[in-house]
Amino acid sequence: MSATMCLRYLKINQKARIKNIVAQGEVGRRIRDMGLVPGSEIQVIGRAPLKDPVALRIKDFTLTLRNNEADHILVEVIES
């Protein structure tokens, strides 16, 4: 069993499963509206040169999140 960590700290090409969204209000709703909900599998596919934002692959699409948004998403790394 893998430890739960903040999405911000995943490395490029690392896969994880979302465990919890800790954001409330508008930020929480926006994160969930993008399809980032508990149980979803994601993969970090890239980062900007200054590490912000992070590009994620979820299902069949790519989205980017700022680190301050990624801080609200707790994930469990999927060992491959």
- 3-class DSSP string for 5-65: EEHHHCCCCCEEEEEEECCCHHHHHHHHHCCCCCCCEEEEEEECCCCCCEEEEECCEEEEE
**CA distance linking residue 66 with residue 75, whole number of Å:** 16
At 1 the pLDDT is 55
Domains parsed from the chain with CATH numbers? 4-77 (2.30.30.90)
At 26 the pLDDT is 93
At 31 the pLDDT is 92
Give me 1's structure tokens: 């069993």
Per residue of the chain (80 residues), what is the pLDDT tens digit? Answer: 568 999 999 999 999 999 999 998 999 999 999 999 999 999 999 998 888 899 999 988 999 999 999 999 999 999 76
For strand 73-77 and strand 61-65, is the pairing parallel, antiparallel, or unpaired?
A: unpaired
At 80 the pLDDT is 62
